[in-house]
């Protein structure tokens, strides 16, 4: 997993697997305190205390297709190796919150990568779910709510060629300031 | 706080709804990119990007693009499943952006299964 934006996609996919219908993604670039903060929240089925305790263990998974689960352990490792931290809050029926903090200028921090691609993959690929993305940088704040987009579309598919083009152009513009992070 | 400007999207919606009123509804093709940790680490997002780009180059409004989780065949990722109306699903393995473009143009648009990339035929299962 070479980019933080790929970790974001992966954690969001975990939330989708947990039946989430609304997923919040908050990304903050805090240059003053030299921190990159990431928070993903979902309204999925949540985890029991026992599952929560083992969720960052690579040799633990709730799936039955195979017996390892690398998503969260890889994110935890990436955050901690850059002088940051990782935490997980969850309870059954109340969803999950994943928080990761990275040292912004740390040599071992993975690049943020293509955030626009991650957002487009989620919004277009999972039209049944609402994604609320909030980006906080020194240049200001930006929020994208895919629920609002779907409201405007009134049933028109997010896979429609013109809609895909619209999203591609606008999401790339909105995240252009993240280039090089 | 800055937000997306949705006025242009409203115009797109009006135009698409007008056009759709003239034709039979329902998706004729569904393309699924599998997005487990294994798929993502193997390049599934780049495959999805190529797929969205191909869709945006067409005028086909009856193709559904979607993602799903790991299907337990991690060593074969990235995996893409193509389902055409009334036909069995075809699952492709080790897909990259170029293979995705070929699969889209030849299989999704022309109906010609790309045998050299096929992993399996049959119904979708995931965990």
Q: Are strands B80-84 and A130-137 parallel, antiparallel or unpaired?
A: unpaired
Its ipTM equals 0.87
Q: Which residues of B touch A150 (CB under 8 A)?
A: none
Min Cα distance B61 → chain A (Å) is: 5
Q: Going from the first residue of chain B to its last (127 residues), give the mean pLDDT of each consecutive group of 10, the final group possibly shorter.
A: 86 80 70 94 96 93 91 91 92 97 97 95 63
Are B114 and B106 spatial neighbours (Cβ–Cβ below 8 Å)? Answer: yes
Q: What is the DSSP string of A13-34?
A: HHHHHTT-SEEEEEEEEETTTT
Rounded CA-CA distance A127/B30 in Å is: 13
pLDDT for residue B89? 94
**pLDDT surpassing 70 at residue A107:** yes
Tell me the per-residue pLDDT of A111-159, one tens digit each, with 9 for 90 and over: 999 999 999 999 999 999 999 999 999 999 999 999 999 999 998 999 9
What does the block give as tokens for A45? 């089925």
Min Cα distance A156 → chain B (Å) is: 6
Min Cα distance A68 → chain B (Å) is: 11
Number of A:B CB contacts under 8 A?
133
Q: What is the DSSP string of B32-78?
A: EEE-SHHHHHHTHHHHHHHHHHHHHTS--SSEEEEEE---S-GGG-S
Rounded CA-CA distance B52/B31 in Å is: 10
pTM of the model: 0.90
Which secondary structure element, helix H or strand E, spans residue B26, and what is its range? none
Q: Which residues of A touch B69 (CB under 8 A)?
A: 13, 16-17
pLDDT for residue A143? 95
Question: Which of A16, A141, A170 is nearest residue B4 as measured by Cβ atoms?
Answer: A170
pLDDT for residue A116? 96
Asked whether the beta carbons of residue A156 and residue B58 sit closer than 8 angstroms, the reply is: no
Q: What is the DSSP letter of A158?
A: T
């Amino acid at each position: 997993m070479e980019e933080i934006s790929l970790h974001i996609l992966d954690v969001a996919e975990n939330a989708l697997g947990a039946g989430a219908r609304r997923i919040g993604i908050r990304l903050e670039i805090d240059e003053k305190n030299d921190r990159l903060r990431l928070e993903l929240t979902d309204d999925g089925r949540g985890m029991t205390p026992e599952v929560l305790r083992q969720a960052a263990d690579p040799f633990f998974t709730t799936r039955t297709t195979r017996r390892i689960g690398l998503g969260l352990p890889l994110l935890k490792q990436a955050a901690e190796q850059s002088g940051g931290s990782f935490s997980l809050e969850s309870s059954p029926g109340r969803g999950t919150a994943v928080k990761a903090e990275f040292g912004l200028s740390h040599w071992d921090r993975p690049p943020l990568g293509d955030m626009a691609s991650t957002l487009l993959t989620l919004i277009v690929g999972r039209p049944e779910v609402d994604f609320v993305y909030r980006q906080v940088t020194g240049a200001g704040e930006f929020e994208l709510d895919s629920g609002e987009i779907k409201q405007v579309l009134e049933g028109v598919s997010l896979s429609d060629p013109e809609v895909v083009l619209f999203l591609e152009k606008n999401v790339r513009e909105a995240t252009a300031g993240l280039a090089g992070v | 706080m800055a937000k997306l400007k949705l006025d242009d999207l409203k115009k797109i919606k009006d135009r698409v709804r007008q056009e759709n009123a003239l034709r039979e509804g329902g998706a004729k093709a569904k393309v699924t990119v599998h997005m487990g940790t294994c798929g993502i680490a193997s390049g599934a997002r780049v495959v999805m990007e190529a797929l969205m780009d191909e869709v945006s180059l067409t005028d086909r409004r009856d193709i559904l693009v979607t993602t799903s989780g790991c299907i337990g065949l991690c060593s074969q990722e990235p995996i893409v499943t193509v389902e055409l109306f009334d036909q069995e699903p075809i699952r492709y393995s080790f897909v990259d952006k170029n293979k995705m473009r070929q699969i889209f143009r030849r299989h999704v648009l022309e109906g010609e299964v790309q045998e050299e990339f096929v992993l399996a035929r049959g119904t979708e299962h995931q965990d």
